[in-house]
Structure 1
Amino acid sequence: METKDDDVDCKEIVFDVKLVKGCDPILIEGDENNKDNECYPTGYNKIFEYVYPPEEWTENGKKWRRVASTKPADRHQVMALAEELKLNLEHWNAKMHGVCPVRRELYTQCFNELIRQVCVNSIDQGELLIKIRNEYNQSIINHKRYFESGLIFRIKHASLDQLAMILSMNT
């Protein structure tokens, strides 16, 4: 598993795995024949940017963009996604029980790909799944905040109890 630094926090794990399918790169700058409205594939909707933010890079003085694929997934692609998820869970040694940031990241990417697949067929259903995903992510953030707050409270009071005990022994 690659990380940014040796002493890095678990939430800063860098994955070279992308489960959300993108379309072929699109030349957006450096091509005189390209118009602004041709920078997205047919059927592209801005809702896809909530699932797969566009990736942009410069190569040989030309600016490229990759956006989420607008092609519907068939049964074989869904089965391939499930197999790819399984292989990545094994490859990255994701724990199947308890808190595991690796497993969470891989499942998040898989869910984002499923949202992309649903968005291709129905924008309304895709928007609903995006709201569910965002609500879930907010719940995780809130649970972490409550846990940290409770931990700080307990440490503070444990320290005060120890200080009171030391002071009572000295008097």
Structure 2
Amino acid sequence: MIPMGDTLVRYDNPISISKNNLETNKKIEKKSQKRSSNSPLFDSLVTSPSPSPTSGGRNNVPDDSSIQKTQDILNAMLPPREWIANEQQWIQHVSSTPATRSDVVNIQELLDKKLQQRQARETGICPVRRELYSQCFDELIRQVTINCAERGLLLLRVRDEIRLTLDAYQVLYESSVAFGMRKCLQSEQGKVDMIKQIEDLTREKAELERQVAEEKARCEQTERRYQEQKHLEEKKHSDEVQFLKKINQQLKVQLEGIIAPKKQN
């Protein structure tokens, strides 16, 4: 027989199950699950006063019905464990034996030992630490339920509410992580697009600067041609003026040469 994984919850010794016993156990388990499915949790199990090791029936000894009732409540709260080993079906019910003060001290020492052995983190999120403390809380619920079923059921509600809250926080955390990843991917994609846009604008800027340089060179070349042409035109005009002045001077001399003899006569 190979037992299941170790736990802080106290269980009875495992027993082998035959086919007949297996069918009977399944019926009992279905009955317990049906009781636990009602929201006035286990109301049918706590209609009568809960068994107590100090205030039971006659001579402070609980009767068989009280013991069975306590066992039913415990099985509904902490379902039996089942496994197969060496082709044999085994089942292990949670213990209904009341806990003593030394048992509580041992649980505390065992919890500290397991936290150290499994290297649980002291702070922050740690699944190992959460699992061990959950087992410890289940064991405390078991111990309290044996003495007072109503108190145990109230602790069970507290445990379930804590688990729901933690699950909600976990879903919120996973959702926030997924949202952050989406935003990160979007930012990375936006960064790639922005880099591509910058490269395109840089190439466009370089092309425009090249065109501006070409236009400046063309403008300077046109200005040089204009200045050269202007200089040639001015020189040509100056030569024509000088030529005309020279001709005018020659004509003036000739005219004076013709007029002078006539005056003398």
Given candidates 148, 155, 178, the residue that maps to 1:152 is 178
Given candidates 156, 175, 195, the residue that maps to 1:169 is 195
Q: CA deviation at 1:129?
A: 1.0
User: 1 CA distance for matches of 2:98 and 2:138?
Assistant: 14
Look up the SS of the partner of 1:83 in the other structure: helix
Q: Residue 17 in 1 paired to residue 6 in 2?
A: yes
1:1-171, aligned counterparts within 5 Å?
16-29=5-18, 42-43=67-68, 44-57=70-83, 63-171=89-197
The structure with the larger Rg is 2
Unaligned runs of 5+ in 1: 1-14
How many correspondences in the alignment?
153
The verdict on how the C-alpha distance between 1:170 and 1:62 changes in structure 2, with shifts beyond 3 A counting, is closer
Unaligned runs of 5+ in 2: 29-63, 198-265
Q: CA deviation at 1:149?
A: 0.9
The verdict on how the C-alpha distance between 1:108 and 1:50 changes in structure 2, with shifts beyond 3 A counting, is farther
- What is the identity, as a one-letter code, of the residue corresponding to 1:112? D
TM-score by length of 1: 0.75
RMSD between aligned residues: 2.9
| Structure 2 partner of 1:12 | none
User: 1 CA distance for matches of 2:79 and 2:136?
Assistant: 15
Of the structure 1 ranges 41-50 and 106-115, higher mean CA displacement relative to structure 2 is found in 41-50
Of the structure 1 ranges 83-92 and 114-123, higher mean CA displacement relative to structure 2 is found in 83-92
TM-score by length of 2: 0.50
Matched residues, percent identical? 32
- What is the identity, as a one-letter code, of the residue corresponding to 1:54? P
Q: CA deviation at 1:80?
A: 0.9
The verdict on how the C-alpha distance between 1:167 and 1:27 changes in structure 2, with shifts beyond 3 A counting, is closer
Look up the SS of the partner of 2:8 in the other structure: coil
User: 2 CA distance for matches of 1:20 and 1:84?
Assistant: 11
Higher fraction of strand: 1
Q: CA deviation at 1:63?
A: 4.7
Q: CA deviation at 1:108?
A: 0.8
User: 2 CA distance for matches of 1:27 and 1:165?
Assistant: 64
